[in-house]
Structure 1
Amino acid sequence: MGGTMAGDLRVRPATLHDRPAVERLWLMFRHDMSEYQGGLPAADGTFRGERVAAAFTGDGWAPYLLTCGDRLAGFAFVRGLDGPVRVLNSFFVVRGARRGGVGLRAVQEVLRRHPGRWEVAFQRDNTGGAAFWHRVAEKVAPGEWSRIERAVPGRPELPGDLWLSFTVRR
């Protein structure tokens, strides 16, 4: 099923009208990430949402919505658009759309919209994510990317995140 969805993929800027849908996708994303970052939802079933709020401020951020046909497939948050390095702050593809090329195509489109220096972080223990992000780096900057480990700010109990750095050319 995933392979046919990649052909219907659309990446577009998320609008304020999309925010409720993005917030629901955010819950799925945070649920997935809780396996690697720990943390439980709040009493109302939500996870911290400052990044969602920040993504919709417009202050150096750009939120994107991923769709396959008329269905939601995920989202991407870019930050640092007002600085020298863009950061793919959050990237999520729903499980039903994974493994068919949707994520790779979507992230390449997001990256191409903002040429320049990029950084992407992921959790060392997230082996599937690590393999995906290494494929992305090699696809967009063959042989010209680097990886370093950085501590997670304010979370000394967690292993450091791995950060990939590369440049996306016009």
Structure 2
Amino acid sequence: MRLVGEHELTVRRVSPDEVAVLERLWLMFRHDLSGLRGVLPSPDGTFRSERVLAAVDDPTWAAYLLWLQDRPVGLALVRALDQPVRVLNAFFVVRGLRRTGAGSRAVSEVLALHPGAWTVAFQAENEPAVHFWRGVARAAAGERWTEELRAVPDRPDLPPDSWISFTTHG
């Protein structure tokens, strides 16, 4: 639990009765990213959600909600919990809380829950994400992190993603 202003920011695993909250935050997250990659919603107005379903149902994934008091303010999806390198598959903070330090605090809590090797993908054209994830890597691992470009699977029309890798210690 960390303070944002005078309020407590908490990160906790999604409970069964919070899945609908996770799904709504996922829509906000995917909407944010849609402008970077030209992704349109499905005919029913949603975006692809197999990652959310996996994060809730698959034991090798973990889904977290970020809360500011009683308000959901973000999400984190972690996969590959059974592998040597964990993947922070999705991380989102609502716009009203960005640039307050809440995202950095929340991601540090998620990383602390699963110490070890990590990798995170982001889009190089998303300048705030570039700054944020490089800062996260420096905070978590000092100068012991790497960044590389990797092709987006099955999407040769897209520019490659940037991937940052680092190791945390518990």
TM range (shorter): over 0.9
Question: Structure 2: how far apart are the matches of 1:16 and 1:155?
Answer: 33
Q: Say whether 1:8 aligns with 2:8.
A: yes
Question: Structure 1: how far apart are the matches of 2:134 and 2:23?
Answer: 27
Q: Say whether 1:75 aligns with 2:75.
A: yes
Deviation of 1:132 after TM superposition, in Å, equals: 0.3
- What is the match of residue 133 of structure 1? 133
**Bigger relative contact order, structure 1 or 2, given CA contacts below 8 A and separation 6+?**
1
Question: Structure 1: how far apart are the matches of 2:122 and 2:98?
Answer: 17
Deviation of 1:3 after TM superposition, in Å, equals: 4.8
What is the identity percentage for the equivalent residue pairs of Structure 1 and Structure 2? 54
After superposition, where does 1:6-155 map in structure 2 within 5 Å? 7-155=7-155
| CA deviation map 1:43-101 (0-9, x unaligned) | 21100100000001132100001000111110000001011100000000000111101
Gaps of 5+ in 2: none
* 3-state SS of 1:8 partner: strand
Question: Structure 1: how far apart are the matches of 2:106 and 2:42?
Answer: 30
Query: Could you say what the CA RMSD is over the residues aligned between the two structures, in angstroms?
Result: 1.2
Deviation of 1:13 after TM superposition, in Å, equals: 0.5
Paired residues, number: 168
Matched residue type, 1:44: D
Deviation of 1:8 after TM superposition, in Å, equals: 1.4
Question: Structure 2: how far apart are the matches of 1:3 and 1:35?
Answer: 28
Question: Structure 1: how far apart are the matches of 2:30 and 2:153?
Answer: 17
Gaps of 5+ in 1: none
Normalised by the length of structure 2, the TM-score is 0.96
Question: Structure 2: how far apart are the matches of 1:26 and 1:139?
Answer: 26
Normalised by the length of structure 1, the TM-score is 0.96
Question: Structure 1: how far apart are the matches of 2:35 and 2:106?
Answer: 24
* 3-state SS of 1:120 partner: strand
Matched residue type, 1:121: A
